[in-house]
Amino acid sequence: MACYISTASPAMAAAAREDIHPATMAYIRHLVEVFRTTSFHDACYDQNYMGSDADIFRHRPGTTAVPDDVDAALDAIEEILRKGSPTLAADERLDILYNRTLQEETVGAVEDAVASMEAQVAGERDIVDAKKLRLKAVRAAVAEYRDGLAALMTPADGVEEQEATAAVMSLLERLDAAESEAAALAADVDGFDGLVEQLAAARERLVEEKARLDAIPVPVRRSPERRRHRLPRCRSIQQECSRAARIRSSVRCMSDLI
């Protein structure tokens, strides 16, 4: 890009500045400062991936009375930055592919866990249903044994002490066995109910992980024809260097003005 102001005298540059609106001059100084402290790669990233607040062109004023070469420099900088960095775009595609691959693996792992728990629940459901029925019967027997013990503790006419003691001992043995069985059955039932809750939570997580996967863009697969004409990495770097050089040339034009 030609830069005519750089060959003009300081007096001519000063005269040119007098005709330019102060807001335009402030904007040009801002751009020069941005590229004094920011690399081309970082400027491309900020412009294209950091949202509207990072758009350095959103407040670009009119360029009336700006020398033609400076106006062209402003246009060139905006065009190049909006087009972006070739290597940055390639890196972004790799990041998307990497993140999507990781999320696909996460979804697959959760799907496997859900399938395993579903198989376990299906395999144990009939057994646990039978245990629930047995638990109900055993608890009823426990209540019956306790009532029987309470009745034996009340003295009854015509019942020998030895006979009463034997009856109490028999009931105590049956009560102890029933309570032990009830505790084991209850533990099995509670364990199954916990597994069902885990399955419900795993299904919810699967929905969430699939939503996260859907939120990640699907990398565009190049056709064989496009792959043949794809720029090699070295060409992308050369292209980026060329754009960075144009940026530097444009910034020099603006620097000569200010």
Alpha-carbon distance 69 to 25, whole Å? Answer: 15
Alpha-carbon distance 163 to 157, whole Å? Answer: 12
pTM of the model as a whole: 0.48
Give pLDDT tens digits for 158-216: 556 777 788 888 889 999 999 999 999 999 999 999 999 999 999 999 999 999 999 98
For residue 228, is pLDDT > 70?
Answer: no
Give pLDDT tens digits for 11-68: 455 555 666 778 888 888 888 887 787 777 677 777 766 655 656 676 677 656 677 8
Alpha-carbon distance 146 to 200, whole Å? Answer: 39
Question: Among the listed ranges 122-131, 200-209, 214-223, which one has the minimum average pLDDT value?
Answer: 214-223
Question: Among the listed ranges 53-57, 64-68, 133-137, 235-239, which one has the minimum average pLDDT value?
Answer: 235-239
Please give the pLDDT value at position 155: 61
> Which range, 13-22, 99-108, 149-158, 219-228, has the best average confidence (pLDDT)?
99-108
Query: How far is the CA of 180 from the CAs of 137, 177, 187, in angstroms?
Result: 13, 5, 11
Helices of type H across the chain: 10-18, 22-37, 40-49, 68-83, 86-152, 161-215, 224-228, 233-257
Q: What is the dihedral of CA 159, 160, 166, 172, to 10 degrees?
A: 50
